[in-house]
Amino acid sequence: MKRRVAILISGRGSNMAALIKAAAASHDFPAEIAVVISNRADAAGLEKAKAAGVPTAVVESKPFGKDRAGFEAALQATLDECRIELICLAGFMRLFTASFVQRWYGRMLNIHPSLLPSFPGLDPHGQALSAGVKISGATVHFVIPETDAGPILMQGAVSVSDHDSADTLSERILEVEHRIYPDALRLLASGQARLEGDICKTVASAASGNFLISPVVGE
């Protein structure tokens, strides 16, 4: 039985599209995208989801103002109605209360465009460039009340060039995001990821065998 997944978005839904594509491309993918939910009626990702044949819903957050619990009650009602088992956040620009996060602990994923725990929060690409790192990337992690701080499920890396801007680095990391988010969902939905305290461990996990070294020094 495939796990029923809700993708929560606020904007264009780039990672949402990657998850929908992966779930539809393979009959043995262990999850189905049951609904895409946005807290903004004008989110461009809603039309992408509809075009892909995925049901959509809007739970507007603006009318609730600072009443996060009220918004989450409305959101939870939609999740219950759709019989959702797992949540993937994909550019969802809304912070959750600790009680909502606890309710979904171990069943809600987020993706962040840096190699956490480095550069959490806003402008991770700018942070990475300012720090002068030579490697950056993306991280899929479980959601906890603290921002970008949950147990790490999967990471992917790219080299950082001296000529990179925040935009060029973002473009390359986005490709990594689209690769690892579906793979991370596959691991979670198939029961191959488990939490041991603050650490996520995966069944039969192994290193890829490849190094990523940057900069590369010529022979």
Query: Which of the residues are catalytic?
Result: 112
Structure tokens at 134: 């030579």
Question: From CA 50, how far away is CA 198, in angstroms rounded?
Answer: 37
Name residue, tokens 């022979």: 219
Identity of the residue numbered 106: G
Spatial distance between the Cα atoms of 113 and 103, rounded to a whole number of angstroms:
25
For residues 196 and 215, give the distance between their C-alpha atoms in angstroms, rounded to a whole number. Answer: 35
* Cβ atoms 172, 212 nearer than 8 A: no
Which phi and psi angles does 42 have, rounded to 5°? -95, 10
Question: Vertex 73, ends 56 and 86: CA angle to 5°?
Answer: 55
Residue with tokens 């956040």: 89
